[in-house]
Amino acid sequence: MRLSQYFMPTLKETPAEAQIVSHRLMLRAGMVRQSSAGIYSWLPLGLRVLKRIEQVVREEQDASGAQEVLMPTIQPADLWRESGRYDDYGKEMLRIKDRHERDMLYGPTNEEQITEIFRSYVRSYRELPKNLYHIQWKFRDEQRPRFGVMRGREFLMKDAYSFDVDEAGARHAYNKMFWAYLRTYQRLGLQAIPMRAATGPIGGNLSHEFIILAETGESSVFCDTEYLKTDFLATPVAYDDVKGLAKAIEGFVARYAATDEQHDEKRFAAEVPDGRRYQGKGIEVGHIFYFGTKYSAPMKALVSDPAGNMVPVHMGSYGIGVSRLAGAIIEASHDKDGIIWPASVSPFDVGLINLKSGDAKVDAVCADLYGKLRQAGKQVLYDDRDERAGAKFADMDLIGLPWQVIVGPKGVAAGKVELKRRATGQREEIPAEALAQHLR
Ligand code: P5A
């Protein structure tokens, strides 16, 4: 993409309305535009990041055996009357009437909808287990939408729903999602810590929140900092190994980690040595629930068990805040100059900076590199604008692509270009013709 043609409205001034760094940087980098309180348009750069986060989430859901569907954003109120949640949900639910005066709502979550789909088709334990997920916009009329996409009213969620004939099966489904989550966050460059949690309006008695530590988070958390050292991607666990997976997770959650609702100061002091006790804020980037038959019993989602009895199916639901993650990743990875994207979600792989647009030799080297990098499979943002070098450097640092390739007249005369790693600021000169190979 040539920056001269790209729609990337960066701002020099810090927007006054943004209270936390991720919100400021998302506005300054031209990633999102507020439409009304807690509701945003995603501009090209922001949308690229959102799609890449979505893709990592999707790949890990698929690898765990979950299957993607797409349910609508607008749901009929009658489904929620069946589960009893229509009246319970309160003011957070956006209620709508259609032209026939039928009660509809903009879905804040999809437990009822997926239960209706399930009960229409599945009758026997032989068709289980199943886990269906979608990545779809939700609406919650939050009392205090704030911090940009972190607490929005309209936001993108990945929500999965598991179906099993009994509690043991559901427990394994829960563990599979648990593991998939740990892998997902690590691929996104985050170390998320699972914490026992309250279940709130979703219900049930087993639940974990996945939280990344950040002083701008809204959850108060207490945990053992050893959690930050685990490498899940290097730990091989097979999803169909019921015992092995349970053991891996048990071992892992044995360390202390709790949100303030579940916190026990005595246990914290006794179990976690000095110097390893984190007490501060965190951002909830995911939340999983096992709630058994809370929806299937009232909504009559029944399957035959091996003994031939019709029983309500055991369910769990599993959420990841996809749009919130865009902000959370920035909270975890930025410096005074801007964002530092992990390679897995960066909107482009490389920023190519032409220090003297209009100079025939520099333009030719840039055009050549632009082509070669793209041939090598790289997504390249080419700054070909007629701008001061300083402004180009500042914009490129602000938008935080992992690599910058800087091409100027001096280097071109010597056959060299400069390669800068955004995360460390480290620079090296390399021969122009070696660049594409080098970045591979
Ligand atoms: C689990 C999936 C649920 O809704 N039902 C389906 C369950 N859980 S949850 O905890 O309420 O939400 C899941 C995740 O969505 C993100 N999230 C938000 N992101 C941005 N703005 C919001 N207002 C918002 N509310 C929830 C969080 O990451 C949460 O963990």
What are the structure tokens assigned to 292, written together? 């058994």
Q: Which amino acid is at 212?
A: I
pLDDT of residue 440: 79
Atom number of ligand 1 nearest to Cα 108:
4
Atom number of ligand 1 nearest to Cα 325:
28
Atom 20 in ligand 1: residue holding the nearest Cα:
151
Distance from residue 274's CA to the centre of ligand 1 (Å)? 33
**In angstroms, how far is CA 221 from the centroid of its own chain?**
20
User: What is the chain's alpha carbon radius of gyration, rounded to the nearest angstrom?
Assistant: 24
pLDDT of residue 252: 83
What are the structure tokens assigned to 240, written together? 């169909």
CB distance 31 to 15 below 8 Å: no
Distance (Å, whole) CA 298 – CA 300: 6
Cis before residue 129, ω within 30 degrees of 0? yes
Q: Which of 324, 325, 329 to mutate to test the pocket of ligand 1 (most atoms within 8 A of CB)?
A: 324
Distance from residue 40's CA to the centre of ligand 1 (Å)? 17
Atom number of ligand 1 nearest to Cα 160:
2
N-term to C-term CA, the chain: 19
Neighbouring residues of 138: CB distance < 8 A, sequence distance ≥ 6: 73, 106, 107, 108, 109, 154, 155, 156, 157
Atom number of ligand 1 nearest to Cα 152:
21
Q: Which amino acid is at 94?
A: L
pLDDT of residue 106: 98
Distance from residue 112's CA to the centre of ligand 1 (Å)? 16
Sign of the Cα torsion 179, 180, 181, 182 reads: positive
Distance from residue 163's CA to the centre of ligand 1 (Å)? 20
Using a 10 angstrom Cβ sphere, with 0-12 exposed, 13-18 middle and 19 or more buried, the burial of residue 89 is middle
Nearest alpha-carbon partner for 431 in 419, 416, 409, 410? 416
Atom number of ligand 1 nearest to Cα 151:
21
Distance from residue 20's CA to the centre of ligand 1 (Å)? 20
Atom 18 in ligand 1: residue holding the nearest Cα:
321
pLDDT of residue 197: 82
User: pLDDT tens-digit profile of 408-418?
Assistant: 999 999 999 99
Q: Which of 287, 318, 325 to mutate to test the pocket of ligand 1 (most atoms within 8 A of CB)?
A: 287
The pTM for the full model equals 0.96
Atom 16 in ligand 1: residue holding the nearest Cα:
321
In the 3-class helix/strand/coil scheme, how is the chain assigned residue by residue?
Answer: CECCCCCCCCCCCCCCCCCCHHHHHHHHCCCEEEEECCEEEECHHHHHHHHHHHHHHHHHHHHCCCEECCCCCEEEHHHHHHHCHHHHCHHHCEEEECCCCCEEEECCCCHHHHHHHHHHHCCEHHHCCEEEEEEEEEECCCCCCECHHHECCEEEEEEEEEEECCHHHHHHHHHHHHHHHHHHHHHCCCCCEEEECCCHHHCCCEEEEEEEECCCCCEEEEEEHHHHHCCCCCCCCCCCCHHHHHHHHHHHHCCCEEECCCCCHHHHHHHCCCCCEEEEEEEEEEEEEEEECCCCCCCCCEEECCCCCEEECEEEEEEEEHHHHHHHHHHHCEECCEECCCCCCCCCCEEEEECCCCCHHHHHHHHHHHHHHHHCCCCEEEECCCCCHHHHHHHHHHHCCCEEEEECHHHHHCCEEEEEECCCCCEEEEEHHHHHHHHC
Atom number of ligand 1 nearest to Cα 320:
14
Atom 13 in ligand 1: residue holding the nearest Cα:
319
Atom number of ligand 1 nearest to Cα 209:
30
Distance from residue 265's CA to the centre of ligand 1 (Å)? 27
Residues with CB under 6 A from ligand 1: 109, 140, 142, 151-152, 155, 157, 159, 202, 284-287, 289, 317-319, 321, 323-324
Which residues of the chain, if any, have pLDDT below 70? none
Distance from residue 232's CA to the centre of ligand 1 (Å)? 23
Distance from residue 295's CA to the centre of ligand 1 (Å)? 18
Atom 27 in ligand 1: residue holding the nearest Cα:
321
User: pLDDT tens-digit profile of 389-428?
Assistant: 999 999 999 999 999 999 999 999 999 999 999 999 999 9
Atom 22 in ligand 1: residue holding the nearest Cα:
151
Atom number of ligand 1 nearest to Cα 110:
6
Atom 12 in ligand 1: residue holding the nearest Cα:
319
